Amino acid sequence: MSYISMNLVTMFYLIASVCFIQALKGLSSPSTARTGNAFGMSGMAIATVTTVALIFKLQAQAATTGGLGFSLVLLGVVVGGGIGAFAAKKVEMTKMPELVAAMHSLIGLAAVCIAVAVVAEPWVFQITTPGVALPFGNRLELFIGTFVGAVTFSGSVIAFGKLSGKYKFRLFQGAPVSFPGQHMLNLGIAIALIALGLVFCFAPGVEPAWTPFIIMAVLAFILGVLIIIPIGGADMPVVVSMLNSYSGWAAAGIGFSLNNSMLIIAGSLVGSSGAILSYIMCKAMNRSFFNVILGGFGGDPAAAAAGGAQEQRPVKSGSADDAAFIMSNAETVIIVPGYGLAVARAQHSLKELVEKLTHKGVIVKYAIHPVAGRMPGHMNVLLAEAEVPYDQVFEMEDINGEFGQTDVVLVLGANDVVNPAAKDPKSPIAGMPILEAYKAKSIIVNKRSMASGYAGLDNDLFYQANTMMVFGDAKKVIEAMVKAVD
């Protein structure tokens, strides 16, 4: 491996890049997602082995006989890979969004750490030779990579806390955190960041301008916190996809500094795909894409609080047996899965229920909202885990026109994505596209209680005359439905 040529490195990086492109293509559809994951893992394996071989070659060329450089790289691969494998194996489906946010934070932190190393000893990365100052172009790339990486790290940490819901610290609460002059403070920090970045880039002399660089990094960490805390929990799916984009651009920026084509290509793929996904999510939630980029969305907290005030209105409730009887005698049923289904891990029981209804001649379909759950594609992954046939799963735009002709809609743990309040111009979620379950002839809603959804709003769907509430854990309720259908 010590004699690997740069031409071979380039070729292997190119092969890895093709694998990453194929991975994105495969992940665009549930039916090809497994193949896409296989391509992604293969590409990362090729890139990692090639990079390790390159490090070994560079160390041999430098005639380094001592030190722990290469050993530390291998140690990092083993320890990091072990932690990742353990976390991926232990994480529950409901905790996947937190895991994604945590991984984004590590990518951002890695970009900052690499930038610090390059500024300290650029000759080690073959950018300059000892005694020669960093070129302006490299300084600019390091500034951008550090800035984006720091924002990604701290912003992802806040997103992790909001998604987990385990911590009492106010910044980690689902409700938006705002204060007077917040936007002006963000603007002031952004201007200071640019000014410090320019000072760092134009600083004369061989020695790096550490003071503006360090202050810039600290301010970027602070800005990452400030642009995420005013975002409410209901908007977290968009935040996750946007932070994914940020992490990609941070990696690409560092790739330019290191003249590493693999980092540039992989980072650009992640950054661009994350930005496109964020745009799709914004359309699905009726949000402004540019406000997301600036961290300025999340709704009016006062309005959200007012909208979330629960009205004491009567609801019609029933048992699992009642729901099973209604569905068994229907011709068409549409199932709307939500976060409650994921929490109960009831997807396998749901598949069994659908199989029994189908055996009775009932036509059953699944309706998926783009932001159902806690991250984009959450429900698709959940149903794929239970091996639900892909031809039964429909996206919102493909199935919304069928609700008006559907006999029964079964809503399982979903709230905001079926809330008719989105049709009210005065509602905090006004204009948000929803699954139009309220148009069905009969509606069955399974929830643990009448508690509001992630957006903190009451749901008029629960009070409709044709709605029956079935309270209880989704898995237990569905299992009872399966027995009743038998």
Point out the least confidently predicted range of 83-92, 139-148, 196-205: 83-92
Higher pLDDT, 334 or 127: 334
Q: Where residue 305 falls among pLDDT bands split at 50, 70, 90?
A: very low
239 pLDDT more than 90: no
Higher pLDDT, 94 or 145: 145
Report the DSSP beta bridge partners of residue 438: none
**Tokens representing residue 451 in the block:** 């508690």
Q: What is the pLDDT of residues 164-195, one digit of tens each?
A: 767 777 777 766 777 888 888 988 999 999 99
Residue among 300, 321, 391, 416 flagged as catalytic:
416
Q: What's the predicted TM-score (pTM) here?
A: 0.75
Higher pLDDT, 471 or 382: 471
**What is the model's pLDDT at position 253?**
84
Integer Cα distance of 251 and 108 in angstroms? 8
Higher pLDDT, 418 or 313: 418
The mean pLDDT of 3-27, rounded to a whole number, is 86
Higher pLDDT, 340 or 322: 322
Higher pLDDT, 432 or 120: 120
Integer Cα distance of 415 and 459 in angstroms? 7
All residues at 6 or more sequence positions from 82 whose CB lies less than 8 Å from its CB, including other chains: none
DSSP per-residue letters across 431-455 = T-----GGGSSEEEEEESSS---TT
Higher pLDDT, 133 or 87: 133
Between strands 442-447 and 363-368, the pairing is unpaired
The mean pLDDT of 316-331, rounded to a whole number, is 94
**What is the model's pLDDT at position 63?**
56
- Of how many residues is the chain composed? 486
Helix (H, G, I), strand (E, B) or coil at 180: coil
Point out the least confidently predicted range of 29-43, 98-112, 294-308, 471-485: 294-308
Higher pLDDT, 93 or 13: 13
**What is the model's pLDDT at position 3?**
52
All residues at 6 or more sequence positions from 45 whose CB lies less than 8 Å from its CB, including other chains: none
- Tell me if residue 322 is catalytic: no
**What is the model's pLDDT at position 326?**
95
**What is the model's pLDDT at position 247?**
87
The mean pLDDT of 201-220, rounded to a whole number, is 90
**What is the model's pLDDT at position 227?**
86
Integer Cα distance of 354 and 194 in angstroms? 56
The mean pLDDT of 388-413, rounded to a whole number, is 92
344 pLDDT more than 80: yes
CATH topology of domain 313-485: Rossmann fold (3.40.50)
234 pLDDT more than 50: yes
Between strands 393-395 and 467-471, the pairing is unpaired
58 pLDDT more than 70: no
Helix (H, G, I), strand (E, B) or coil at 373: coil
